[in-house]
Chains A and B, each alone.
Chain A
């Protein structure tokens, strides 16, 4: 079975540019999570969706960040405009509710904002 697929794996861009990260969850999973990992703050949840609806976005840092899930098989995390402090590894995870929800993580997108 294909796991959670994230793209791109690496992104380097200049500050002020728009960045879009993409995630394809595991088929049949109905919850999707976006996490960010930095040395300073560790692994923190940004937002999660259940059945394509945002449930908890309390971890989204500020209005520059937005996330969408237009359908059950695709989600995006957008940063506009990007800043150097957004540099981090961004992980997407998915789970199937009702199964005591082990989350399955993708390999992450390593984002560097210059």
Chain B
């Protein structure tokens, strides 16, 4: 599976959009981009995933560049409860179901 690179930490003001970047320059054509987050003392929570088209659900939007070498997770109106570590993971569909978690980005939403 391709390796991902994320900033160690980010800050965001409450009510503003949080844009979390992820670099996956070695991604291959059959690898999806997944985003999970882990709020302190809880298990990781699935947010969203995509292959090449932009995706949106009730939690977030995922923007994948045309060359698929990077993506951005957007939380449109961040709240204090969005403070968490956010993980960007790439994974082949149809192959191993294994998820390889990196260190992620610690997002702090400030009042």
Tell me the A residues contacting B by CB distance below 8 Å. Answer: 4, 31, 33, 42-45, 48, 50, 55-56, 91, 93, 95, 97, 100-108
Contacts and interface: CB of A to CB of B under 8 A. Distances in A.
A102 B101 contact: no
Interface in B70-111: 87, 93, 96-103
Instruction: Please report whether the interface of chain B is mostly helix, strand, loop or mixed according to DSSP.
Output: loop
B44 interface: yes
B98 A103 contact: no
B28 interface: no
A21 to B, nearest CB: 13
Instruction: Please report whether the interface of chain A is mostly helix, strand, loop or mixed according to DSSP.
Output: strand
A23 to B, nearest CB: 11
A105 B103 CA distance: 18
Given A42-B103, A43-B38, A48-B98, 8 more contacts: A44-B101, A45-B98, A55-B97, A93-B43, A95-B97, A103-B44, A103-B97, A107-B43
Contact of A42 (B42, B93, B98, B102): B102
A101 B93 CA distance: 9
Contacts of B44: 43, 91, 93, 103, 105
Among A43, A102, A105, max chain B CB count under 10 A is at: A43
Nearest to A6: B43
Interface string B31-46: 0101000100011111
Contact of B97 (A43, A50, A91): A50
